[in-house]
């Protein structure tokens, strides 16, 4: 670390890292040779994948020469059966340089119509893109929308700059310089490791409290927020246990998943992991009440409306807050507060209140019940409260909120070290 905890590229250990360098077709491809060479000289294992049109600008032998690895181009051929999987598996970083308007659009759409696109759809690592295109293409709303989509998924963008373009004119769209791209790549790799050696327990989704074998009391939580946090923590090097209520999401690779249904099951699973956890993030929407009894057989409509008596579920977050002995010393406890509010000031006040009430180190309060924030949508309008104050994160993707949350968790851990 540099002065005042600022990370410098030179601090990042690159030796042995597998970097997929995806080169699409633009005049700037020649600059990617310098990127490939720099990363290789730093000790990275650079695997280049090129589109057919990229070959019009740079020969594959040039990349093979500077990286020492054969260049991948074809989805089907003499090589491995699934070359995109072979390239993507174990990659620490995917770097798309140049990222043409076309390759950006294909990434945003999730296309897999050549080896480069299929590889980018398969990688589980951070992705850095260095856009390069004519000024008009850069300014097109379609490109802006595609880049916003990618940013929402956590893709990191470097450049473009304003400068001379291939068309002979000058404007926005010139690919970032190799040293800028290498710096962004190193930052992305280094960033991915700031929870290395840490154990993180994340809860996600809603609980289901049974009424009878087929009915339950539940809520609309999708699990997206908790999954995004688990993914972000794992990406940054943590060993993650994700305790989740029923959901329809794809099981995140490299993460231990404990499936639960009820608040009681969630409590057992969380307390099980709490003693070893450096960080506990309670993103789950736990039911506050459960039926005192549930029927063994399906309740019959003919028997009329049942009387359901409710009792409180265990408040897992409050229990962990009130009993530090259940947790690893120095661990960070993060809770969520899903609130219907009039304005951000109300959200901030509720976050502050819940911070006290739950004995947590951090509360993320997010708005629910709107079309763009809370349960079942990909974005959240949120504030983050700690003893130092409340920060308004605004309306962001759940991935971006997860990153903001993990940044603060890392700062907490550093202060307690």
The residues assigned a catalytic role are 219
Interacting span for ligand C5P (CB under 6 A) from 85-93, 171-179, 191-199, 314-322? 314-322
Among 188, 337, 362, 402, binds ligand C5P (CB under 6 A): 337
What is the residue whose two structure tokens read 């992305």?
Answer: 188
Let me know: does 18 contact 92? Beta carbons within 8 Å: yes
What is the closest distance, in whole angstroms, from the C-beta atom of residue 288 to ligand C5P in the complex? 6
Q: Is the bond preceding 160 in cis, omega lying within 30 degrees of 0?
A: yes
Strands 256-259 and 279-282: unpaired
Say how far apart CA 267 and CA 224 lie, in whole Å.
20
Among 57, 227, 336, 412, binds ligand C5P (CB under 6 A): 336
290 near ligand C5P, rule: CB under 6 A: no
Which helix (H) or strand (E) segment holds residue 269: the answer is helix 263-274
Q: How many residues bind ligand C5P (CB under 6 A)?
A: 14
Cβ proximity to ligand C5P, 120 vs 337, nearer residue: 337
Among 180, 212, 288, 407, binds ligand C5P (CB under 6 A): 288
Find the binding residues for ligand C5P in span 241-270 (CB under 6 A): 263
Cβ proximity to ligand C5P, 185 vs 281, nearer residue: 281
Cβ proximity to ligand C5P, 268 vs 288, nearer residue: 288
DSSP single-letter state for residue 58: S
313 near ligand C5P, rule: CB under 6 A: yes
What is the closest distance, in whole angstroms, from the C-beta atom of residue 364 to ligand C5P in the complex? 8
Among 286, 332, 368, 409, binds ligand C5P (CB under 6 A): 286
401 near ligand C5P, rule: CB under 6 A: no
Say how far apart CA 266 and CA 204 lie, in whole Å.
10
Dihedral sign for Cα atoms in the order 176, 178, 179, 184:
positive
Cβ proximity to ligand C5P, 175 vs 405, nearer residue: 405
284 near ligand C5P, rule: CB under 6 A: yes
What is the residue whose two structure tokens read 């090589």?
Answer: 79
Interacting span for ligand C5P (CB under 6 A) from 76-84, 308-316, 340-348, 377-385? 308-316
What is the closest distance, in whole angstroms, from the C-beta atom of residue 322 to ligand C5P in the complex? 12
Among 282, 290, 348, 352, binds ligand C5P (CB under 6 A): 282
Say how far apart CA 203 and CA 403 lie, in whole Å.
16
Say how far apart CA 409 and CA 151 lie, in whole Å.
22
Q: What is the DSSP track for 320-362?
A: HHH-GGGS-TT-EEEEEEEE--SSHHHHHHHHHHHHHHHT-SE
Among 114, 187, 194, 315, binds ligand C5P (CB under 6 A): 315
317 near ligand C5P, rule: CB under 6 A: yes
- Here the tokens at position 385 are 């409260």
Find the binding residues for ligand C5P in span 172-211 (CB under 6 A): 203
Cβ proximity to ligand C5P, 156 vs 242, nearer residue: 242
Cβ proximity to ligand C5P, 180 vs 264, nearer residue: 264
Cβ proximity to ligand C5P, 37 vs 348, nearer residue: 348
Interacting span for ligand C5P (CB under 6 A) from 56-64, 81-89, 272-280, 334-342? 334-342
Count CB atoms within 10 A of the CB of residue 359. 16
Cβ proximity to ligand C5P, 192 vs 269, nearer residue: 269
335 near ligand C5P, rule: CB under 6 A: yes
Say how far apart CA 299 and CA 210 lie, in whole Å.
12
367 near ligand C5P, rule: CB under 6 A: no
What is the residue whose two structure tokens read 């929402």?
Answer: 152
316 near ligand C5P, rule: CB under 6 A: yes
What is the closest distance, in whole angstroms, from the C-beta atom of residue 89 to ligand C5P in the complex? 34
Cα 250–Cα 235–Cα 184 angle in degrees, nearest 5: 125
Burial of residue 265, with CB atoms counted within 10 A of its CB: 0-12 exposed, 13-18 middle, 19 or more buried: middle
Cα 283–Cα 285–Cα 291 angle in degrees, nearest 5: 145
Comparing CA positions, the residue from 320, 336, 318 lying closest to residue 328 is 320
What is the closest distance, in whole angstroms, from the C-beta atom of residue 347 to ligand C5P in the complex? 13
Comparing CA positions, the residue from 321, 315, 349 lying closest to residue 334 is 321
Say how far apart CA 156 and CA 183 lie, in whole Å.
12
- Here the tokens at position 97 are 């340089």
Q: Which residues bind ligand C5P (CB under 6 A)?
A: 203, 263, 282, 284, 286, 288, 313-317, 335-337
């Amino acid at each position: 670390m540099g002065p005042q905890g600022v990370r410098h590229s030179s601090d990042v250990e690159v030796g042995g890292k597998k970097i997929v360098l995806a080169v699409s077709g633009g005049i700037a491809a020649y600059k990617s040779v310098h990127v490939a060479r720099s990363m290789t000289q730093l000790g990275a294992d650079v695997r280049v994948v090129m589109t057919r049109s990229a070959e019009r600008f740079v020969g594959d032998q040039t990349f093979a020469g500077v990286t020492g690895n054969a260049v991948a181009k074809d989805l089907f051929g003499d090589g491995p059966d699934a070359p995109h999987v072979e390239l993507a598996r174990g990659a620490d970083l995917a770097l798309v340089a140049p990222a043409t308007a076309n390759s950006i659009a294909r990434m945003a759409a999730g296309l897999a119509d050549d080896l480069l696109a299929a590889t980018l759809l398969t990688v589980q690592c951070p992705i850095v893109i260095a856009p390069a295109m004519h000024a008009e293409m850069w300014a097109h709303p379609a490109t802006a929308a595609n880049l916003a989509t990618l940013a929402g998924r956590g893709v990191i963008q470097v450049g473009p700059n304003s400068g001379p373009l291939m068309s002979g004119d000058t404007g926005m769209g010139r690919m970032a310089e190799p040293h800028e791209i290498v710096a962004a790549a190193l930052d992305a790799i280094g960033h991915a490791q700031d929870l290395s050696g840490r154990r993180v327990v994340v809860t996600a989704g809603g609980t289901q409290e049974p009424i009878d074998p087929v009915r339950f009391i539940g809520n609309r939580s999708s699990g997206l927020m908790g999954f995004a946090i688990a993914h972000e923590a794992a990406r940054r090097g943590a060993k993650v246990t994700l305790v989740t209520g029923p959901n329809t999401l794809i099981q995140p690779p490299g993460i231990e998943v404990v499936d639960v249904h009820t608040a009681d099951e969630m409590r057992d699973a969380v307390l099980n992991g709490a003693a070893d956890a450096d960080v506990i993030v309670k993103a789950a929407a736990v039911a506050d009440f459960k039926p005192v009894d549930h029927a063994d057989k399906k309740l019959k409509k003919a028997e009329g409306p049942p009387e359901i008596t409710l009792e409180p579920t265990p408040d897992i977050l409050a229990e962990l807050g009130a009993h530090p002995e259940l947790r690893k010393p120095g661990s960070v406890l993060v809770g969520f507060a899903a609130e219907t509010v009039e304005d951000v000031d109300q959200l901030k006040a509720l976050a502050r209140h819940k911070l006290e009430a739950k004995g947590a180190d951090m509360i993320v309060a997010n708005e629910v019940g709107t079309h763009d924030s809370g349960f079942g949508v990909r974005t959240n309008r949120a504030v983050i409260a700690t003893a130092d104050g409340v920060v308004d994160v605004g309306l962001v993707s759940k991935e971006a909120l997860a990153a903001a949350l993990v940044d603060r968790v890392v700062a907490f851990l550093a202060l307690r070290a």
